[in-house]
Chain A
Amino acid sequence: MKAMILAAGKGTRVRPITYTLPKPMIPLIRKPVMELLIEHLHRHGIKDIAINTSHLAPLIENYFRDGERFGVRIAYSFEGALVDGEVQGVAVGSAGGMRKIQDFSGFFDETFVVLCGDALVDVDLGRVLQFHKEKKALATIVLRDVPREQVTKYGVVELHPDGRVLRFQEKPSIQEAVSTVINTGIYMFEPRIFDFIPSGQEFDIGGQLFPALVAANEALYGVVEPFNWLDIGSIPDFWEGTRLLLEKQLPGFELPGQEVRPGIHTGINLRVPWGSVNIQGPVYIGSGTEIGAGATLIGPSVVGSGCVLQEGATVRECILGDYTRVSSAAVLERKIISGGKCIDPNGKYLDINESQIGWIVDDARKQMQLTAAEAELWEQVMDQVTA
């Protein structure tokens, strides 16, 4: 069976992280989401994968290359053009992206799977395939049952008892929702699906293809599978997802590195005076990180590689990107530091340069230079706090 991963989106709901990282490359602790996805496909015996790229395409393509390192074979379908050195995305939509590949080479010559590249899933594709074949489906949507309070975030699906899709409801209210099973963005198709996808125009799977199948009374089925699903479609989701992983609440997900103390996982080449720091797990501390005496690090937290927590710095429930420096004067609580931004779990953020908080948190590779005002403020605040 072949697969396609949709990785061409701009990730607008995960800004500002996606200003510098395409959504599928957002790391869950250390691994990009898409790597975890490809590992999952590989475990199911899938070897040939087409990936459509656009926004920040090189970051994806340079990481996965031809896929050999991951035991798969990858072909990229680049959607866009390079204009004056800048990639300009050309929107073709999710189904449009499939069609582009099919028009190019007829790649999809047997039952295939399409997944969104921004969720961690461990669905049993073998069972989905079995269902798909039994029903002689043209298209099967993998559905998941969620608590009723959550239906407002998703596309809800109404099923006939035999599994046929009756209709869709996009982000319904709790009262209006006709069911609690939602579209997970994982689909299984027969090549005949391309009869319903026009060439050369923008076409979306959920918004256009599926309604067309329902209207034409085609064999569109939904299968409800229990599986672990970590959606990182927004900053709050990414925040919650990371916490879940740190607290080991996702079965089958192993924290990277070694557990050097209970609840504390690390990489290698660390400089940490264990006797004089206050570190409480669950935390992951990346390789090459330095933590100064008297610093406080409280989990759940992820500290990237090459980070510096200066003496006395306080970091509480944070996700720090690689090469983050937290200065002694800082108290960082519930923040994501990524790409020069200081982000709250609700998505609001400060630009470190524009807000001039580089003296609190910045790139560890920059030389630290305090202005006179900053040095004075630091001293005064520390005086007042310790008084």
Chain B
Amino acid sequence: MKIENKEVGRYLVVKILEPRMGADRAASFKDEMCKLIDQGHMAFVLDLSEVNFIDSTGLGAILSILKRVGKSGDIIVTGTSDTVGSMFKLTRMDRVFQMFPTVDEALAARV
């Protein structure tokens, strides 16, 4: 799973560079994220602006990362397209995650 990350304050902004977050990519996404958590990062802004497809495994992967960072951590989801955003709303995931249109807006809200 190709990602690009950069630190902004206490947050690590993780941008997913692949268009599909399906069953085949979900596992490697989890692996990448776990590596980052092991390095000590607990607060993430996920940038999904390059993603145009996500299914249950993809959503489940993001949810499992939320569970891993626990109450002291944070995961904010940003940049969802109409279709991906729809998936979050249909499955109530928009009530589980804070969501913002852009990374900048997410970071501004947390400062």
Contacting pair A380 B60 (CB below 8 A): yes
Contacting pair A373 B57 (CB below 8 A): yes
Contacting pair A357 B93 (CB below 8 A): no
The interface-forming segment of A109-117, A170-178, A280-288, A348-356 is: A348-356
Smallest Cβ distance from A203 to chain B, in angstroms? 39
Q: How would residues 76 to 111 of chain B score, 1 for a CB under 8 Å from any chain A CB and 0 otherwise?
A: 000000110011011111011000000000000000
Within 8 A of B (CB), among A335-387: 342, 344, 348, 350, 355-357, 359-361, 371, 373-374, 376-377, 380-382, 384-385
Is A333 part of the binding interface, using a Cβ–Cβ cutoff of 8 Å?
Answer: yes
Contacting pair A381 B89 (CB below 8 A): no
Contacting pair B60 A373 (CB below 8 A): yes
By beta carbon, the residue of chain A nearest B95 is A385
Measured as residues with beta carbon below 8 angstroms from the partner, the interface class of chain A is 20 to 34
Contacts of B96 in A (CB 8 A): 381, 384-385
Q: Tell me, in angstroms, the Cα distance from A359 to B91 when the chains sit together.
A: 10
Is B59 part of the binding interface, using a Cβ–Cβ cutoff of 8 Å?
Answer: yes
Contacts of B92 in A (CB 8 A): 329-331, 381-382, 385
Contacting pair A360 B91 (CB below 8 A): yes
By beta carbon, the residue of chain B nearest A360 is B90
By beta carbon, the residue of chain A nearest B26 is A373
Contacting pair A355 B83 (CB below 8 A): yes
Q: How would residues 43 to 62 of chain B score, 1 for a CB under 8 Å from any chain A CB and 0 otherwise?
A: 00000000001011101100
Is A156 part of the binding interface, using a Cβ–Cβ cutoff of 8 Å?
Answer: no
Q: How would residues 154 to 190 of chain A score, 1 for a CB under 8 Å from any chain B CB and 0 otherwise?
A: 0000000000000000000000000000000000000
Q: Which of A329, A344, A348 contacts B91 (CB 8 A)?
A: A329
Contacts of B63 in A (CB 8 A): 377, 380-381, 384
Is A332 part of the binding interface, using a Cβ–Cβ cutoff of 8 Å?
Answer: yes
Measured as residues with beta carbon below 8 angstroms from the partner, the interface class of chain B is 20 to 34
Is B34 part of the binding interface, using a Cβ–Cβ cutoff of 8 Å?
Answer: no
Contacts of B56 in A (CB 8 A): 356, 359, 371, 373-374, 377
Q: Tell me, in angstroms, the Cα distance from A377 to B64 when the chains sit together.
A: 9
Q: Which of A342, A355, A376, A384 contacts B55 (CB 8 A)?
A: A355
Contacting pair B90 A331 (CB below 8 A): yes
Contacting pair B87 A357 (CB below 8 A): yes
Is B23 part of the binding interface, using a Cβ–Cβ cutoff of 8 Å?
Answer: yes
Q: Tell me, in angstroms, the Cα distance from A385 to B95 when the chains sit together.
A: 7
Smallest Cβ distance from A373 to chain B, in angstroms? 4
Contacting pair A350 B86 (CB below 8 A): yes
Q: Tell me, in angstroms, the Cα distance from A355 to B52 when the chains sit together.
A: 11
By beta carbon, the residue of chain A nearest B97 is A384
Q: Tell me, in angstroms, the Cα distance from A241 to B32 when the chains sit together.
A: 49
Q: Tell me, in angstroms, the Cα distance from A329 to B87 when the chains sit together.
A: 12
Contacting pair A377 B59 (CB below 8 A): yes
By beta carbon, the residue of chain B nearest A370 is B56
Contacts of A377 in B (CB 8 A): 56, 59-60, 63, 91
Q: Tell me, in angstroms, the Cα distance from A81 to B37 when the chains sit together.
A: 63
Contacts of A357 in B (CB 8 A): 87, 90
Contacting pair A373 B23 (CB below 8 A): yes
By beta carbon, the residue of chain B nearest A375 is B56
- For this complex, 7 residue pairs linking A to B, each with C-beta atoms less than 8 Å apart, are A331-B90, A344-B82, A348-B83, A355-B53, A371-B56, A373-B56, A384-B66
Question: Which A-B residue pairs are the 9 nearest by beta carbons?
Answer: A356-B55, A373-B57, A377-B60, A374-B56, A384-B96, A373-B56, A377-B56, A360-B90, A380-B63
Beyond known contacts A329-B92, A330-B91, A381-B63: 17 more, CB 8 A cutoff: A342-B86, A348-B82, A350-B86, A355-B83, A356-B55, A357-B90, A359-B56, A360-B90, A360-B91, A373-B23, A373-B56, A377-B56, A377-B63, A380-B64, A381-B92, A384-B63, A385-B95
